[in-house]
Amino acid sequence: MIPAAKPCRRAASLLLLAMLLAGCNKTASRAALPEFADLVDDVSSSVVNISTVPAEQEDSASLAPQAHDAPGPESPARENMPDWMKKFLDQHAPEDYGGESAPRGQHDPGLDELPGAEQSLGSGFVLWADGYIITNAHVVKDAKEIMVRLQDRRELPATVVGLDEPSDIALLKIDAKDLPAVTTADMSKLRVGEWVMAIGSPFGFDYSVTAGIVSAKGRSLFTEQYVPFIQTDAAINPGNSGGPLFNLEGEVVGVNSQIYSQTGGNSGIAFAIPIDVALNVAEQLKDKGRVTRGWLGVVVQEVTRDLAKSFGLAKAEGALVARVVPGSPSEQAGLKPGDVILSFNDQPLLVSNALPPLVGAVKPGENVPLKVLREGKQITLKVKVGELPDEIAATKSALPRLPLGLGVERLTADDRADARIAEGGVGIAQVEPGPAQKAGLREGDILLSLHGQKIDSPERLKEVVEDLPAGASVPLLIQRNGAPLFLALDVPAADGKK
């Protein structure tokens, strides 16, 4: 009988070991999930709510399907809302759940601002303890009065120290001391896939906490931008703009700026301005009231697989120089159209959109190396980076985008002269999957007319797009490589199926 007991003891030991391992696995699983409660307690006092009294002005909302206002009575997004949410919106005044007036967001006419009425626009956070608050430029732009509400319920008037539209950063000052300032993160350590947490006032619900992960780094939302955005799937909604994005150490990694959405609500794709970019802008605004950026003076385009093959590149990488601005730093350095910039200041370029943020981050006057592929050979040029002219920064700061999957920009006088266009037109800065792409539009095209209507500004384009017949096919006239070209654009049907 004794020998028979050994297998029993062995089985019991194995069972006990399995139970211990299962317990360890459960403990490890629980340990792998972050705890946010203590983190919220530690950092939420640095977050503020920002409300404004808007100045009397004509509505200037732009075209992008991002950072929408709260849905109004006639909004398509409202149709998909549950009845309790519709009732809530009907019973509360706009200032109770206010929506952001983002320059890249679609304005919903159901929530037009009332003259003199205070609107809860967004969020912010204490950057420096002596009363400096950082937020998005679009939250406070054109505001007549700005109020900052702290976590202890104090409401203090704020003045704008400086505002920088290209980065969408504004620095505010309130009369307060010893405020709980945030700790900023070392952005070189930020990794895709790590947990992040956002705190803000979506739809006016103060100190709402959401969490997610870093979905991507260095996102370019349009050409010639100077912000390498952080993409996150943390729930970001109107009212979160300007608020902080924290890592698990309680350090700010970004300033929540905008969302990509066709409805105005969170769709799991949000973008934050990296804190190192925001901090650099804030310091310049504090010290001199304006922001200077490096300028190279080139127009570049993406290197496609076919182009890479034609240039003798093993893979599609770099930025292809399409135009060199006369008298610019790039011309003085000897850069030529047809060159492929492989690296800037020893930073490799995998895509062309990575170039503007790298150039913009360099102080004007610095000499940096450019690795260039020219006629099949790699050469290194030295370029003395210039200062980005204000007029160029203004035209590149907030490129309007259309629900058709089209991003556009204003044309400067030099742009028209180079294209030999006497008047009108808008530049095609980005083409995304959608009707515009199906029509054959490309980045670098100049849109001259749509549905028989001349286009001379992004605002005019918006008006024409809004009047397009749903489900119809309409002509558009562009200029490509100096020659006019007609294309057919299929307008989506009312149900969005076409």
Of 160, 129, 133, which Cα lies nearest the Cα of 144?
160
Q: Which two tokens stand for residue 306?
A: 């076919």
Question: Is 130 labeled as catalytic in the residue annotation?
Answer: no
CA distances from 188 to 103, 185, 253, 377 (A): 30, 9, 10, 32
DSSP 317-330: -SEEEEEE-TTSHH
Question: Is 241 labeled as catalytic in the residue annotation?
Answer: yes
Question: Is 92 labeled as catalytic in the residue annotation?
Answer: no
CA–CA distance, 441 with 428 (Å, rounded to integer): 8
* Catalytic-role residue among 69, 168, 206, 445: 168
* Catalytic-role residue among 69, 107, 120, 138: 138
Q: Are β-strands 244-247 and 47-54 bridged in parallel, bridged antiparallel, or unpaired?
A: unpaired
CB atoms within 10 A of CB 213: 14
Contact indicator for 141, 99 with CB cutoff of 8 Å: no
Of 293, 317, 299, which Cα lies nearest the Cα of 307?
317
The C-alpha R_g of the chain, in whole angstroms, comes to 26
Question: Any alpha helices (H) in 264-410, and if so which ranges?
Answer: 275-288, 305-311, 329-333, 355-360, 390-396
CB atoms within 10 A of CB 142: 13
What one-character DSSP code corresponds to residue 349?
-
Q: Under the phi-then-psi rule, with left for phi > 0, alpha for psi from -120 to 50, and beta for the rest, what region is 204?
A: left
Q: Which two tokens stand for residue 97?
A: 């759940």
Contact indicator for 295, 389 with CB cutoff of 8 Å: yes
Tokens 């062309």 -> residue: 352
* Catalytic-role residue among 241, 352, 397, 449: 241
CA distances from 67 to 20, 54, 214, 351, 402 (A): 50, 18, 19, 26, 13
Of 314, 335, 311, 455, which Cα lies nearest the Cα of 383?
335
Q: Which two tokens stand for residue 262?
A: 């066709």
CA–CA distance, 444 with 415 (Å, rounded to integer): 11
For residue 484, the SS3 value is strand
Strands (E) in 33-177, as ranges, are 47-54, 119-128, 132-136, 143-149, 155-164, 169-174
CA–CA distance, 303 with 118 (Å, rounded to integer): 48
Active site residues: 138, 168, 241
